[in-house]
Amino acid sequence: MPRYAFRIEYDGRSFSGWQRQADQPSVQGSVEDALTKLDSTIDSIAAAGRTDAGVHALGQVAHADMENEWDPFRLSEAMNFHLKAFPISITACTGVPEDWHARFSAIERRYTYRVVQRRAPLVHDAGQMWRVKKSLDIRRMQKGADYLIGQHDFTTFRSTMCQAKSPVKTMDEITISEAVYPAGREIQIKLRARSFLHNQVRSIVGSLERVGSGAWKPERMKEALEAKDRAACGPVAPPDGLYLTGVSYNPEIFEAI
């Protein structure tokens, strides 16, 4: 059966997360339902990662096995037609080998977390950014983030419900930048690694917010990491500002995002 890979963009506010659930709307369920309108043999699709409720994506990747050959452009157009009632878009589609897998073939995942510093409630970006009222020092945040680069036991920044076999992961990059615009000051935290633990990004961001606000010294990130204890983690950041921005493969199947 021909296998196709899809790059998927979605607004996570309308869903209980990526994974299909019997009694809750999910991104996976919506995409699978759209596919079954084109091919009744579709059973399920596999994704590069399972985002939680309220988490967004610009570059989620999934694959499906179809009964018949499709032109990738026509397939993406047909899927978008059946997805038009949902905040989901297929932004790219391509054929892949039968042994290619959206999750297991991935060599890198990239996330961006958006924070906005302002007192007024959000209107246009409500549910898509984390609003904080205190001023954040991104130099302190970057210093704290630097302690997490490399291979570590990330037990402190791992959900107690995480099902990963090992808490050891390699963080390749964390960069923090800012942009000021009339409605507020946006801080973006970008993280890059081969794979992540459940709630790892939101746990890291929540702790970095403590550093940026002055509640923690940057060195406390190192202490929290070395504690290997969930109790040493700061408050977990809300899902609102988290985006899965891209997944990389070798060789690449889509244009870089």
Write out the two tokens for 57. 């994506």
52 is catalytic: yes
- Pairing state between β 150-153 and 168-181: antiparallel
- Catalytic pick among 11, 33, 52, 65: 52
End-to-end CA distance of the chain: 29
Write out the two tokens for 188. 């973006």
CA separation (Å) from 34 to 88, 101, 149, 243? Answer: 11, 20, 40, 23
Catalytic residue ranges: 52
